[in-house]
Amino acid sequence: MADSDLDLRIWRGDAKGGELVSYRVPVTEGMVVLDAVLWAQANMASDMAVRWNCKAAKCGSCSAEIQGFPRLMCKTPIADYGDHVTVRPMRAFPLIKDLVTDVSWNYEVNKQIPPFTPSEKDMNTSEPWRMQQKDVDRVMEFRKCIECFLCQDVCHVLRNHDGKSNFYGPRFMVRIAALEMHPKDSLDRRPLLKGNAGLGYCNVTKCCTEVCPEHIKITDNAIIPLKERMDDAYFDPVRALIRRIGGGRKPKAV
Amino acid sequence: MAISEPVARPVAADRTGVKNPYSVLPNWLYPAFVVVALSLFGAYALWVVFFQPLGYVMPYLSPFDSPPITLGRIPPAIWVAWAPLVFRLSCYYYRKAYFRSFFGHPRSCAVPEPKRRYRGETAFPWVFNNFHRFAFYATVVQVGFLWFDAVIAFDFGGRFGVGFGSVLMLANVLLLSGYTFGCHAFRHLAGGDLDCFSCSLAARARHRLWRGVTILNIKHDRWAWASLFTVAATDIYIRLLLAGVLHDPRWVS
């Protein structure tokens, strides 16, 4: 039985323009924003575009801006907001229709990151790889990412400064961190971090960490450790001297 | 389920602003607090460094003047204060604080920000934040001197004693140590740069150190504010003793 009605305001339109449309939706106990949006779609706006899948905060499909803040619709209780809620599409990505945005840029970025590459020795061994729990714990946190792209949406470099040509965004810093800290990976991605990935564009204001529905400490555990690794290669004259004495050279940014 | 009458109507753009669901505080409060707190501390620090004599009242020494270096007429704090100043200026926590508060990049999450050109930490002056580890090295030396001062603060002319100043100096150095050794750069140096924590005896030892630093690092912001407060409080207390405004309550054996 409905407890009360909700004034649900949904942004309707496409890349050419649109407007907020209000829907009166009956609220039931435990209702989340996605329930309300789907109710409006089923009963009042069958042409409304909304992307969703698991309804369990695990597929990362139903990302949107609820009262202006990036969240998963399926994980956001109506009770957090009172009697009216405004839902808009993610602002950092091109709009397709209503609440659906084109996030394909992220997949293009992903292709630019060199994948997991074990050493020759590990590649050719017939023995199973053995890794201690302490070696994989750190990386396991990054593997929780559900690719909802809320961190990409809230990142001010991508959102407010249109920095997609300069910075890969927090999601891909998490992916690079997972590869760089993997005990069996042999590649050095610091040149990429200094170059095309644009790690220097991040000014560690931690909004990505605030919005992550998987509670990954993106800034403290991925971005800052990567910045320190980049500093090892490019901003530490002591290490540069040691490297030079050992016959090594500074890796060239790509 | 009872269904209300379907109603769909266009509405004007919502002007209620961005609601951060993870905070009950208005989104201007944090930047306002940072601007006020850092400005007050900055102004006070400049006044102490450039215009104040050595802050020493037996057996207490101001953290601004430790170690006490007196060369000519140059104020002693000038030789010392640059290290913690640069350490805090390039600290990963304070970067968040001042980028949000003083520059609005961004003031709060998901809010509009100034459209002026943004280059983050790739260009002058913020590119120098990448040298944070060197400020850490300098600050470690200073924290060593502060520990020495804190121990000396319990020595009243060869007799053990406890004064309010001794307790304040001990609290100050404890909080400063928690802040300094919870630093992200130290976390990296302790073991964060390793890919394999179990591959050697040294790596296993560094992993234990890394875990310890991580515990301090989790609340780095709180250590940062608490230690900033005690530095100012310790210096103010010692200068009030120096001016004869306060009398130090103490017990001496």
pLDDT in tens, A197-224: 999 999 999 999 999 999 999 999 999 9
How far apart are the CA of B136 and the nearest CA of chain A, in angstroms?
A: 13
Question: What whole-number distance in Å separates Cα of residue A89 and Cα of residue A174?
Answer: 24
Specify the pTM.
Answer: 0.94
CB A135 within 8 A of CB A181: no
B109 → closest Cβ in A67, A161, A211:
A211
Question: What whole-number distance in Å separates Cα of residue B204 and Cα of residue B214?
Answer: 15
Q: Are residues A44 and A149 in the same domain?
A: no
Domain boundary among A84, A101, A118: A101
**Measured between alpha carbons, how far is residue B131 from residues A232, B170, B183 in Å?**
10, 29, 13
Considering its fold, how many domains does chain A have in total? 2
CB A156 within 8 A of CB B113: yes
Q: What is the pLDDT along chain B (253 residues), one digit of tens a residue?
A: 344 455 677 776 555 578 888 888 888 999 999 999 999 999 999 999 999 999 999 999 999 999 998 888 888 899 999 999 999 999 999 999 999 999 999 999 999 988 888 999 999 999 999 999 999 999 999 999 999 999 999 999 999 999 999 999 999 999 999 999 999 999 999 999 999 999 999 999 999 999 999 999 999 999 999 999 999 999 999 999 999 999 999 999 8
Higher pLDDT: A254 or B42? It is: B42
* Per-state percent for chain A, helix, strand, coil, to nearest 5: 40, 15, 40
Preferred mutation among A48, A137, A154, A203 to probe B, highest tally of B CBs within 10 A: A203
CB B108 within 8 A of CB B20: yes
- For residue B91, the chain A residues in CB contact (below 8 A) are none
Q: Are residues A111 and A163 in the same domain?
A: yes
Q: Are residues A11 and A47 in the same domain?
A: yes
Specify the 3-state DSSP secondary structure of B251.
strand
Nearest CA in chain A to B204: A134
Query: Per-residue pLDDT tens for A90-110?
Result: 999 999 999 999 999 999 999
| Interchain contact, B20 vs A69, CB within 8 Å | yes
Query: Per-residue pLDDT tens for A157-180?
Result: 999 998 999 999 999 999 999 999
| Interchain contact, B119 vs A182, CB within 8 Å | no
| Interchain contact, B110 vs A28, CB within 8 Å | no
Q: Are residues A97 and A109 in the same domain?
A: no
Q: Is residue A37 part of a domain?
A: yes
- For residue A19, the chain B residues in CB contact (below 8 A) are 10-11
Host domain of residue A187:
104-246
Is ipTM > 0.95 here? no
CB A89 within 8 A of CB A11: yes
| Interchain contact, B92 vs A135, CB within 8 Å | no
| Interchain contact, B2 vs A156, CB within 8 Å | no
Share the mean pLDDT of chain A: 95
Q: Are residues A117 and A56 in the same domain?
A: no
Q: Are residues A221 and A108 in the same domain?
A: yes
Neighbour count for residue B244 (Cβ, 10 Å)? 8
Q: Is residue A251 part of a domain?
A: no
pLDDT of residue B97: 98
Preferred mutation among B1, B4, B199 to probe A, highest tally of A CBs within 10 A: B4
Q: Is residue A252 part of a domain?
A: no
Query: Per-residue pLDDT tens for A26-83?
Result: 999 999 999 999 999 999 999 999 999 999 999 999 999 999 999 999 999 999 998 9
- CATH assignment at residue A53: 3.10.20.30
Query: Per-residue pLDDT tens for B202-253?
Result: 999 999 999 999 999 999 999 999 999 999 999 999 999 999 999 999 999 8
**Measured between alpha carbons, how far is residue B84 from residues A245, B141, B180 in Å?**
32, 10, 9
- Integer-rounded Cα radius of gyration of chain A: 22
Question: What whole-number distance in Å separates Cα of residue B61 and Cα of residue B149?
Answer: 7
Size of interface A-B (CB pairs under 8 A): 171
Pairing state between β A4-14 and A84-88: parallel
Q: Are residues A124 and A14 in the same domain?
A: no
Token representation of residue A220: 């403290």
pLDDT of residue A180: 97
A203 → closest Cβ in B21, B99, B218:
B99
Domain boundary among A56, A77, A101: A101
| Interchain contact, A160 vs B112, CB within 8 Å | yes
How far apart are the CA of A239 and the nearest CA of chain B, in angstroms?
A: 12
Neighbour count for residue A221 (Cβ, 10 Å)? 21
- For residue B109, the chain A residues in CB contact (below 8 A) are 69, 154, 207, 210-211
Residue keyed to tokens 């971090």: A193
Q: Are residues A94 and A115 in the same domain?
A: no
Preferred mutation among B105, B118, B127 to probe A, highest tally of A CBs within 10 A: B118
| Interchain contact, B9 vs A22, CB within 8 Å | yes
| Interchain contact, A9 vs B113, CB within 8 Å | no
Residues composing chain B: 253
- For residue A65, the chain B residues in CB contact (below 8 A) are 110
H, E, C per residue of B212-229 = HHHHHHHCHHHHHHHHHH
Could you check whether the bond before residue B53 is cis, i.e. omega within 30 degrees of 0?
A: no
Domain boundary among A72, A101, A130: A101
Q: Is residue A253 part of a domain?
A: no
Q: Are residues A71 and A185 in the same domain?
A: no
Q: Are residues A123 and A92 in the same domain?
A: no
